[in-house]
Amino acid sequence: MTLKKSFILAVNNLLYDKMRSLLTMLGIIIGVAAVIILISLMDGMMGMVDEQFAELGVDSITVTIQNRGGSRTIDEDDMYAFAEENPNFIKAITPTVTVAGAEVRNKEYDLTTSVTGVDEHYYSMKQLNMGSGQFFQYVDVEKKRNYCVIGTYIEKELFGTGAGLGQNLKINGRSFTVIGVLQEEGDSTSGSQDDVIYIPYTAAVSMSSSSFIGTYTAQAANADDVNSAVTKLEQFLLTKIGDSDYYNVSSVKQIMDMASTITDSMQTLLVCIAGISLLVGGIGIMNIMLVSVTERTREIGIRKSLGAKGRDIKSQFVIEAATVSGVGGIIGIIAGSILSVVFGNMLGLTAYPSLTAIGIAFGVSVAIGIMFGYLPAKNAANLNPIDALRHE
């Protein structure tokens, strides 16, 4: 019997008892759909995480230093000198002074938020965009001018949308002039990307109880060489401070790589769990095929008496099992593709089934059909024609 005839016969057997065929395929359908849904959702989640990290800057490096005192102390001049001496590793660097829980007010309204002191390089390092006005310049930082750049949430709460530029506000009782308003990046709510106030770091230091700056933000010269830049910074700090316990250097890329590793492990685990459904589906196919061999014993005997060889019988039942699992795989792919989009929208993720996930799921489903269909096919091929003809 040719492959085409075996396939047609397999399809006819599926259509002969539709309910039994559907129940046989159910495990494969659920398994394939689960694999596609889980991979799609994990891809969507990883894509969302990558977008959030990208907003922070993949080439961004954070340096935190503890004040050891004495000659082992590092200040901003040392960090600036390091950046100038290593342009192949560091593109720019800025002190980052945070005034946490600052009281911000104008004549009528007040709020509590975090204020960040940086230098003029921060604007390009974080790829900020101005809605109106401008970011402060080198001379503003050098002269410790009381200038600030605010987000749209701060503008909306204190002055009203579009009315913040040129206004005055007080930060912990100290008056600042708004010289710029950033473009809206989030939804202009508390805690969003628009809930920000930037001031010259020199002004932030003068507002704090200590002149020591413990945090710096650096930008690697090349996004592909972030790890090299981190290593170079660590070597510099170790030489200056002499003890690695007094500093820490971390990058957004390292955090992304760590998150990617964790996500990949979770994805593998979830796919393995979903694969159990495929295994159960394969056992169901084997069970039904064994029953089918018993039901069609007399048919097998007739075919053998007419000259059919063992390999013909074996190939027929293997093809039937592969067809059952293949059709189940196609249904599972359709169901999984639809449900992955639906669940993605419910979770706020951009989740679409990948061709890789579809190819793997379908290939595994057919392979399971062939693997679990081999034993029934072998039993059918080994039947004695005379005994088969006597079977009632």
Q: What is the pLDDT along the chain (392 residues), one digit of tens a residue?
A: 556 666 666 666 666 666 767 777 777 788 888 888 888 888 787 777 666 666 666 788 889 998 877 667 888 999 999 999 999 999 999 999 988 888 999 888 889 999 999 999 999 888 889 999 999 999 999 999 999 999 999 999 999 989 999 999 999 999 999 999 999 987 888 888 899 999 999 999 988 877 889 999 998 888 778 888 999 999 999 988 888 888 999 887 777 777 777 877 877 777 777 777 777 777 777 777 666 666 666 666 666 666 667 666 777 777 777 777 788 888 888 888 888 888 888 877 777 777 777 887 778 777 877 777 666 666 666 655 555 455 55
Whole-number Å distance between alpha carbons of 204 and 373: 73
Are 375 and 387 in contact, with CB atoms under 8 Å apart? no
Short-list 387, 378, 380, 371, CA closest to 295: 380
Amino acid at site 65: I
Q: Which residues contact 8 (CB under 8 A, 6 or more apart)?
A: none
**Could you tell me which residues are beta bridge partners of residue 104?**
111, 171
Whose tokens are 């849904």? That residue is 37
What the block records as the tokens of 55 is: 């907003």
Are 197 and 149 in contact, with CB atoms under 8 Å apart? yes
Amino acid at site 55: E
Reported as a single tens digit per residue, the pLDDT across 179-221 is 999 999 878 888 888 999 999 999 999 888 778 899 999 988 8
| 375 CB burial (10 A radius; 0-12, 13-18, 19+) | middle
To 10 degrees, the CA torsion angle through 336, 342, 348, 349? 30
pLDDT attached to residue 293 = 65
| 245 CB burial (10 A radius; 0-12, 13-18, 19+) | exposed
For residue 246, what is the DSSP state? Answer: G
Instruction: Pinpoint the alpha helices (H) of 160-225.
Output: 201-207
